Amino acid sequence: MSSNLYQRLLQPPKQSFFLFGLRGVGKSTWVRQAFPGAVRFDLLDEGLYQSYLRDARLFGRELLRVQQGHTVVVDEVQRLPSLLNEVHRFIEEHNLRFVLLGSSAKKLKQSGTNLLAGRALKRIMFPFLPAELCDDFNLNEVLRFGSLPIIWQSPSKQESLNAYVQLFLKEEIQAEALVRNLPGFARFLPVASLFHGQVLSISGLARDAGVARTTVAGYINILEDTYLAWLLPAYEGRLRVKERKHPKLYWTDAGIVRAVRHEFHPPGEAEQGALFEGWVANTLRAYGDSNSALGLPYDAIYYWSPAQSGNEVDFLIQRGAEFNAVEVKAKEILSNRDFAGLKAVAELKGITRRIVVFLGERSFQTEDGIEALPVNEFIKELERKKI
């Protein structure tokens, strides 16, 4: 099936909105399908970019030609945050609806626009989800090459992933001047990829990458601002033991995390665990993020790991005073010790469901109520809004 035929789950808000997501996630393709008659300004067009860079008022004069109530798309809006002053004015005075696409929020944050002070909503687009790929969904393929649309549709996924990493460094990092030391950032990426699904130690990462601790902290912020990775906080409850404070690092797409360390072969058993956990993490985030428009959303997602215990739970999903606990095991057959974390977390007030997502084919339940769900059942539960 052509990727252009995949139906994305994202539904457009009725008012102006920002649409963020990592480069190649399909923002522009989706917008062309969702708003076929919109007036479009693409700031990747170097001539257009340079003309607005010289005089941002030119953008406003061109907007005067757009009829009131029409939709205007501005692609790569982070390249010229100054245009948001005109966007603000035309929302207020001319009743135009804006769809503002961006692959980095860093410059917008620095510009002091505050994302138009609530006049435009925020949405995030994620890599393809199982419900979007339908019968084309293949977990082994997703764990090996990821599900980023620009890669998924490529006839040569390995070459495309290689090119993607270089394009990211050139167009997203170097062109936008997000770092002063591009070679240092390039050395940092494969080291950071080793922390996928791991508790993040800034000092350890700095030591392994050979750069200063403060530099690494800035690099992590860049990964977040470009939607390449995100941090999962530890749950800080008031149990009898002290919980860890450091967050976990998750890359947004398995293919990218493998490409930065030049690994394209089928994942081995040791690697599969982190990749599978990362896929579950990103799927939960896509369904539960309040900006994803998929209808769940969660109050928060954490991981739970008491510092004085060997037990932990990969994900703790909070809705109000209730929690669903989710553990991930990249194996087909579960043993008693695979349930240890979920047994330990039972003492946390508000626990309503305890779930193990695993690679087996049949679901079952333990005597004390822990549910074991194969991948397809896990997906169905998400779609039913039960997790």
What pLDDT score was predicted for residue 3?
Answer: 44
Is there a contact between 318 and 328 (Cβ–Cβ < 8 Å)? no
What one-letter code names the amino acid at 270? Answer: A
Its pTM stands at 0.92
Sort strands 97-102 and 121-124 into parallel, antiparallel or unpaired. unpaired
Indicate where the chain has its CATH 3.40.50.300 domain(s). 3-124
What one-letter code names the amino acid at 187? Answer: R
What pLDDT score was predicted for residue 113?
Answer: 55
- As a whole number of angstroms, the distance between CA 148 and CA 76 comes to 18
Give me the half-sphere count of Cα atoms (radius 13 Å) on the Cβ side of residue 97.
13
- As a whole number of angstroms, the distance between CA 368 and CA 378 comes to 20
Length of the chain: 387
Give kind and range of the element (H or E) at residue 329: strand 322-329
Considering only the C-alpha atoms of the chain, give the largest distance between any 2 of them, rounded to a whole number of Å.
69
Per the structure block, which two tokens stand in for 215?
A: 């530099």
Task: Give 325: exposed, middle or buried? Use CB within 10 Å, 0-12, 13-18, 19+.
Answer: buried
Class level of CATH domain 3-124:
alpha beta
What pLDDT score was predicted for residue 295?
Answer: 65
* Residue whose token pair is 């293919």: 255
Helix or strand or coil: residue 240?
coil
Q: What is the pLDDT along the chain (387 residues), one digit of tens a residue?
A: 444 579 999 989 999 999 999 999 999 999 999 999 999 999 999 999 999 999 989 999 999 999 999 999 999 998 899 899 899 999 999 999 999 999 887 777 765 555 677 788 999 999 999 999 999 999 999 999 999 999 999 999 999 999 999 888 877 787 666 777 778 888 899 999 999 999 999 999 999 888 899 999 999 998 998 899 999 999 987 644 554 578 999 999 999 999 999 999 999 998 999 999 999 999 999 998 877 757 677 899 999 987 666 789 999 999 999 999 999 999 999 999 999 999 999 989 999 999 999 999 999 999 999 999 999 999 999 988 888
Catalogue the E-assigned strands of 58-201: 71-75, 97-102, 121-124, 198-199
Is there a contact between 303 and 349 (Cβ–Cβ < 8 Å)? no
- As a whole number of angstroms, the distance between CA 82 and CA 317 comes to 38
CA distances to 8, 100, 111, 124, 290 from 15, rounded to whole Å, are 19, 12, 22, 15, 16
Helices (H), 289-353: 340-344
What pLDDT score was predicted for residue 2?
Answer: 45
Sort strands 248-251 and 229-232 into parallel, antiparallel or unpaired. antiparallel
- As a whole number of angstroms, the distance between CA 189 and CA 262 comes to 11
What pLDDT score was predicted for residue 15?
Answer: 93
- As a whole number of angstroms, the distance between CA 198 and CA 278 comes to 10
Closest CA to 188 of 214, 162, 225, 164: 214
- As a whole number of angstroms, the distance between CA 61 and CA 77 comes to 18
Helices (H), 213-313: 213-225, 254-259, 269-288
Is there a contact between 361 and 347 (Cβ–Cβ < 8 Å)? no
Is there a contact between 247 and 233 (Cβ–Cβ < 8 Å)? yes
Q: How many CB atoms lie within 10 A of CB 116?
A: 21
CA distances to 109, 150, 176, 182, 289 from 318, rounded to whole Å, are 28, 33, 37, 39, 12
